[in-house]
């Protein structure tokens, strides 16, 4: 770690793309990023769950952020990835259009938001600025907690 | 001395002794004259006392000591067994269990003195005539002062139990010699247990060993110094016996002499012999038998061949086997793709398949435990319930040796207990009512366990009043769980199933035995959580039977792989009866539901594609429509036909959970990983029947 990093609070984010927008996820949540593989549909489950996949012998449910945020489904492309998120030992996969890069943002680069709306914005806890583009930082903890409550 | 390392052993053994005591006291209650049982109880109580003393649990020791005293008197015929005494003894056993539970939790026996019980025990003792009290100190006198006078004659310090004296007396009467000997092994000897064993063998060929100190077992395990003592009955002369011992190499010396049986002992036994000659005879014979047994055990030095293994290690092993089977399935599917690889590859795959299947079976067997360990506490429970409810009842158990996976065993105790309590409390009528309707006075509760293919079935039944269907319906309507119209059209079977609804209790009055409304729904949930199911059969006036079916193993099963539209599913083989091919015109309708008539039985059809919500995606090439494949599955004696599109074959599959967060419908019991790495869901056909 260089001295700059120690001085200011920095965090690393994985940058994802949905349509034209970019979102960031705190890298400490990420267990793995895997290529798209066949997803086995599970009947009668929550609508935003696409099904389950096999990750090295472990069966992991995969959800679609698009469906969760009530965006329209989109064809998967070779750039589509499944992000494996790990919380308290449980794993969950999130299908995303594309994984761009990992960036480091200082606290000064990000601006916290209060959440009041009930759509995707509810899960955006901050907006970060990186190379003149805006990145919406997702509140993964809150998202998982909500899914857990619905479970 | 740090005894903590022995604590676990102490706890295990105490549990065993307690269980044994409970069983034996139950027998004693039924047959108060059974001298074998009394002996057994005395021995168990004695061991408990010794163990508690060694571990420094003073209160427990005191209680067991007093209990032992009581049984010692019973054994000597000075005290008779009666119902009050059995009650006291059961209370003592509960108190000891209380100590044990304290010890398990805190490594300390706690501070409960159980004075009340000790007083009760002593009162029971004082009912005895004064005679034995005078006798006791006398018996001890001749033994203590002799100690030390002749160092080498260690046998002089050994206390002889009554039954041993009796055996010696009998032998004397028959003109045989009784010798006492202390055998010294050279201190340079490396295999003293083996030498001791040879001594035993050689003595046995010349006579009989009544007692050895240390015990044969301890000597076998080399738990002794360089000497041990024996009492021998033999027809041979002193010299001959001495020679046969000293002929064993590395034996330093055998100090031997004709043993003088202490006088008082002769008097007292003679007296008791006069009193009840037959009983003593029987007792002696029995003791001789048991001695023979121990000795013959000594003739082949059996090493303890079992190992204690932490269940977690077994879980790890099972997981590894699962992984191996998945890898094997992967290889099989690769082989399927490149079938041009030749025969050698296929042969090797088949070989691997055999090995993994055997490996799985072996690991599974290691994890299997007889249900005895769960059910052996039930006879005592029923006895207590019988007293508490004031109903006469008996419990008959069969198939206690039926084995189940350890994880299932750990969970099944409570549900079974619940069902037994239910049978005792709600099932059986009161004794008066039974007599009124001409049933046998004593109600019967049965617990039958048996293996049935890949399942284990446990039936809990009673010959009581049966379930009153109308009463259940009324109750359910009262509670608003069903509407009166529903009740009207409900079949008896459906009504009985209402018993499993949460918070449903038909007991008129709520007792502390059952009927707190946390009964059968909890039982059902627990059993279903273990992958099993539970069913009730009842006949008004004749009794009720709860049938619990449990899977033999949890992790790896044989399944039929099927295709429904474009999706692949696994159906556990153990629930499948047959596979049928039917024509569309075979389908009939009953109440707008599809059924087929299969060899005289009407079976409802379940369209898996509809139930599983499978979209009729890309037009499948086979629009032939001339035959439909149906998998007939069963649950108890009910059947259903699952309509599928294609059979893919049988496969060994590993059951995996679907992970947290995702909601899984009832008809899916888990998922499995296929050879190609894809995931297939497992259909729980029990929920579809």
- Give me the residue spans of the domains in chain A: 12-150
More confident residue, A36 or B162: A36
pLDDT of residue A39: 92
**Cβ distance of B678 and A49 shorter than 8 Å:** no
**Cβ distance of A46 and B662 shorter than 8 Å:** yes
Q: Which of A90-94, B85-89, B191-195 has the highest mean pLDDT?
A: A90-94
B433 pLDDT above the threshold of 80: yes
Mutate to test the interface with A, among B566, B615, B662 (most CBs of A within 10 A): B662
Separation of alpha carbons B48 and B16, rounded Å: 10
How many residues would you count in chain A?
A: 151
pLDDT of residue B605: 92
**Cβ distance of B681 and A40 shorter than 8 Å:** yes
Model-level pTM greater than 0.80? no
Least confident of B145-154, B576-585, B602-611: B145-154
Among the partner-chain residues A44, A59, A147, the one whose CB lies closest to the CB of B679 is A59
- Binning pLDDT at 50, 70 and 90, where does residue B132 land? very low
Separation of alpha carbons A113 and B205, rounded Å: 95
B295 pLDDT above the threshold of 60: no
**Cβ distance of A54 and B678 shorter than 8 Å:** yes
Q: What is the mean pLDDT of residues B98-114?
A: 80
- SS3 assignment for B72-135: HHHHCCCCCCCHHHHHHHHHHHHHHHHHHHHHHHHCCCCCCCCHHHHHHHHHHHHCCCCHHHHH
Among the partner-chain residues A43, A54, A151, the one whose CB lies closest to the CB of B661 is A151
B680 pLDDT above the threshold of 90: yes
- Binning pLDDT at 50, 70 and 90, where does residue B384 land? confident
- List, as ranges, residues 18-47 from A with C-beta within 8 Å of B: 37-38, 40-46
Q: How far is B646 from chain A (nearest CA, A)?
A: 18
pLDDT of residue B273: 43
B139 pLDDT above the threshold of 60: no
B535 pLDDT above the threshold of 80: yes
More confident residue, B145 or B68: B68
pLDDT of residue B263: 61
- SS3 assignment for chain A: CCHHHHHCCEEEEEEEEECCEEEEEEHHHEEEEEECCCCECCCCCCCCEEEEEEECCEEEEEEEHHHHCCCCCCCCCCCCEEEEEEECCEEEEEEECEEEEEEEEEHHHEEECCCCCCCHHHHEEEEEEECCEEEEEECHHHHHHHHHHHC
Q: Is the minimum CB–CB distance between A145 and chain B shorter than 8 Å?
A: no
- What's the distance, CA B123 to chain centroid? 36
Q: What is the pLDDT of residues A10-34, one digit of tens each?
A: 888 999 888 778 889 999 999 989 9
Q: What is the pLDDT of residues B185-204, one digit of tens each?
A: 877 776 777 778 778 878 88
Spatial neighbors of B360 by CB under 8 A, at least 6 apart, are B321, B325, B556, B652
Phi, psi of B483, deg, nearest 5:
-90, 160
Q: What is the pLDDT of residues B614-653, one digit of tens each?
A: 876 555 555 556 788 999 998 877 899 999 988 998 888 8
B287 pLDDT above the threshold of 50: no
pLDDT of residue B71: 82
Among the partner-chain residues A37, A91, A148, the one whose CB lies closest to the CB of B659 is A91
B106 pLDDT above the threshold of 90: no
pLDDT of residue A84: 93
Among the partner-chain residues A44, A61, A148, the one whose CB lies closest to the CB of B658 is A61
pLDDT of residue A121: 58
pLDDT of residue A56: 79
B607 pLDDT above the threshold of 60: yes
Provide, as residue numbers in chain A, all residues whose Cβ is less than 8 Å from the Cβ of B681. Answer: 40, 42
For residue B68, indicate whether it is catalytic.
yes
Q: Is the minimum CB–CB distance between B567 and chain A shorter than 8 Å?
A: yes
% of residues, chain B, pLDDT over 90 = 8
Q: Which residue out of B29, B68, B411, B652 is catalytically annotated? A: B68
- List, as ranges, residues 623-662 from B with C-beta within 8 Å of A: 656-662
Minimal-distance CA residue of chain B relative to A145: B661
B281 pLDDT above the threshold of 60: no
Region of B613 please: left (phi>0), alpha (psi -120 to 50) or beta.
left
Q: What is the mean pLDDT of residues B323-342?
A: 74
Q: Which residue out of B22, B69, B287, B422 is catalytically annotated? A: B422
B166 pLDDT above the threshold of 60: yes
Its ipTM equals: 0.85
pLDDT of residue B622: 52
Q: Is the minimum CB–CB distance between B668 and chain A shorter than 8 Å?
A: yes
- Binning pLDDT at 50, 70 and 90, where does residue A53 land? very high
Q: What is the pLDDT of residues B221-235, one digit of tens each?
A: 777 777 888 888 888
B385 pLDDT above the threshold of 50: yes
**Cβ distance of B659 and A90 shorter than 8 Å:** yes
pLDDT of residue B294: 41
More confident residue, B109 or B642: B642
- List, as ranges, residues 580-619 from B with C-beta within 8 Å of A: 611-614
How many residues would you count in chain B?
A: 689
Mutate to test the interface with B, among A52, A73, A90, A145 (most CBs of B within 10 A): A52
**Cβ distance of A52 and B679 shorter than 8 Å:** yes
pLDDT of residue B140: 39
Q: What is the mean pLDDT of residues A75-97?
A: 87
Minimal-distance CA residue of chain A relative to B319: A57
Q: What is the mean pLDDT of residues B538-560?
A: 83
A12-150 folds as OB fold (Dihydrolipoamide Acetyltransferase, E2P) (2.40.50)
pLDDT of residue A116: 54
Q: What is the pLDDT of residues A101-145, one digit of tens each?
A: 898 888 777 777 765 555 555 678 888 888 888 888 888 888 888
Q: How far is A100 from chain B (nearest CA, A)?
A: 27
B503 pLDDT above the threshold of 60: yes
Element (H, E) at B21: helix B4-30
pLDDT of residue B402: 87
Least confident of B340-354, B512-526, B547-561, B667-681: B512-526
Q: What is the mean pLDDT of residues B40-67?
A: 83
Element (H, E) at B556: strand B556-564
Q: How far is B561 from chain A (nearest CA, A)?
A: 15
Q: How far is A95 from chain B (nearest CA, A)?
A: 15
């Amino acid at each position: 770690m260089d001295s700059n990093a120690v001085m200011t609070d920095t965090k690393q984010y994985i940058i994802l793309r949905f349509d034209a927008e970019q979102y960031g996820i705190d890298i400490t949540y990420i267990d793995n990023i895997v290529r798209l593989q066949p997803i086995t549909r599970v009947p009668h489950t929550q609508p935003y769950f696409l099904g389950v996949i096999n990750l090295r012998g472990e069966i992991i449910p995969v959800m679609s952020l698009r469906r969760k945020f009530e965006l329209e489904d989109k064809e998967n492309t070779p750039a589509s990835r499944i992000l494996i998120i790990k919380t308290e030992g449980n794993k969950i996969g999130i299908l995303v259009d594309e994984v761009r890069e990992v960036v480091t943002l200082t606290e000064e680069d990000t601006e916290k938001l209060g959440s009041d709306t009930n759509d995707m914005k509810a899960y955006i806890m901050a907006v970060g600025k990186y190379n003149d583009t805006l990145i919406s930082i997702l509140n993964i903890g809150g998202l998982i907690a909500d899914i857990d409550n619905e479970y | 001395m740090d005894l903590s390392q022995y604590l676990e052993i102490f706890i295990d053994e105490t549990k065993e002794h307690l269980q044994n005591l409970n069983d034996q006291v139950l027998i004693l209650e039924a047959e108060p004259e059974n001298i074998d049982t009394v002996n057994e109880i005395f021995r168990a109580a004695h061991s408990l006392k010794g163990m508690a003393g060694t571990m420094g649990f003073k209160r427990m020791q005191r209680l067991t000591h007093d209990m032992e005293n009581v049984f010692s008197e019973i054994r000597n015929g000075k005290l008779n067994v009666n119902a009050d005494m059995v009650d006291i003894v059961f209370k003592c056993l509960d108190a000891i269990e209380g100590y044990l539970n304290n010890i398990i939790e805190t490594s300390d026996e706690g501070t409960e003195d159980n004075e009340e019980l000790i007083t009760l025990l002593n009162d029971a003792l004082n009912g005895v005539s004064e005679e034995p009290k005078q006798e006791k100190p006398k018996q001890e006198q001749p033994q203590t002062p002799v100690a030390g006078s002749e160092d080498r004659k260690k046998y002089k310090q050994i206390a002889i139990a009554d039954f041993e004296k009796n055996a010696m007396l009998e032998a004397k009467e028959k003109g045989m010699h009784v010798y006492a000997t202390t055998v010294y092994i050279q201190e340079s000897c490396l295999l003293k247990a083996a030498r001791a064993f040879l001594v035993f063998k050689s003595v046995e060929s010349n006579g009989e060993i009544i007692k050895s100190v240390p015990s044969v077992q301890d000597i076998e395990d080399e738990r002794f110094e360089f000497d041990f003592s024996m009492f021998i009955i033999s027809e041979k002369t002193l010299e001959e016996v001495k020679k046969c011992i000293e002929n064993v190499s590395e034996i330093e010396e055998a100090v031997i002499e004709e043993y003088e049986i202490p006088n008082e002992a002769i008097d007292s036994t003679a007296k008791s012999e006069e009193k009840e000659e037959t009983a003593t005879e029987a007792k002696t014979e029995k003791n001789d038998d048991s001695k023979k047994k121990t000795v013959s055990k000594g003739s082949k030095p059996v090493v303890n061949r079992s190992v204690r293994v932490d269940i977690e290690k077994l879980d790890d092993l099972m997981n590894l086997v699962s992984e191996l089977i998945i890898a094997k399935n992967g290889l099989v599917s690769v082989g399927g793709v490149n079938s041009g690889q030749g025969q050698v590859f296929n042969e090797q795959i088949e070989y691997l398949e055999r090995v993994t299947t055997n490996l799985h079976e072996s690991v599974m067997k290691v994890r299997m435990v007889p249900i005895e360990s769960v059910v052996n506490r039930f006879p005592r429970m029923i006895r207590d319930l019988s007293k508490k409810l004031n109903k006469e009842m008996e419990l008959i158990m069969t198939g206690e040796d039926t084995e189940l996976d350890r994880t299932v065993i750990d969970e099944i105790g409570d549900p079974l207990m619940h069902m037994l309590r239910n049978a005792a409390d709600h099932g059986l009528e009161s004794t008066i009512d039974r007599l009124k309707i001409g049933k046998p006075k004593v109600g019967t509760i049965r617990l039958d366990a048996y293996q049935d293919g890949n399942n284990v079935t446990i039936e809990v039944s009673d010959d009581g009043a049966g379930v009153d269907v109308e009463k259940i319906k009324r109750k359910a309507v009262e509670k608003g769980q069903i509407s009166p119209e529903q009740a009207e059209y409900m079949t008896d079977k459906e009504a009985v199933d209402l018993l499993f609804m949460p918070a449903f209790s038909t007991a008129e009055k709520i007792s502390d035995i059952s009927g707190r409304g946390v009964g059968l729904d909890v039982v059902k949930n627990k059993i279903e959580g273990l992958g099993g199911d539970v069913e009730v059969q009842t006949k008004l006036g004749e009794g009720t039977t709860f049938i619990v079916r449990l899977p033999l193993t949890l992790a790896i099963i044989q399944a039929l792989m099927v295709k429904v539209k474009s999706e692949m599913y696994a159906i556990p083989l153990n629930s499948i009866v047959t596979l049928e091919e039917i024509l569309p015109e075979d389908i009939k309708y009953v109440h707008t539901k599809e059924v087929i008539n299969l060899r005289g039985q009407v079976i409802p059809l379940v369209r898996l594609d509809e139930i599983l919500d499978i979209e009729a995606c890309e037009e499948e090439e086979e629009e032939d429509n001339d035959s439909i494949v149906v998998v007939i599955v069963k649950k108890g004696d009910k059947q259903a036909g699952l309509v599928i599109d294609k059979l893919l074959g049988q496969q060994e599959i590993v059951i995996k959970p679907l992970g947290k967060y995702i909601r899984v419908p009832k008809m899916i019991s888990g998922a499995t990983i296929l050879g190609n790495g894809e995931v297939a869901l497992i259909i729980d056909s029990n929920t579809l029947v």
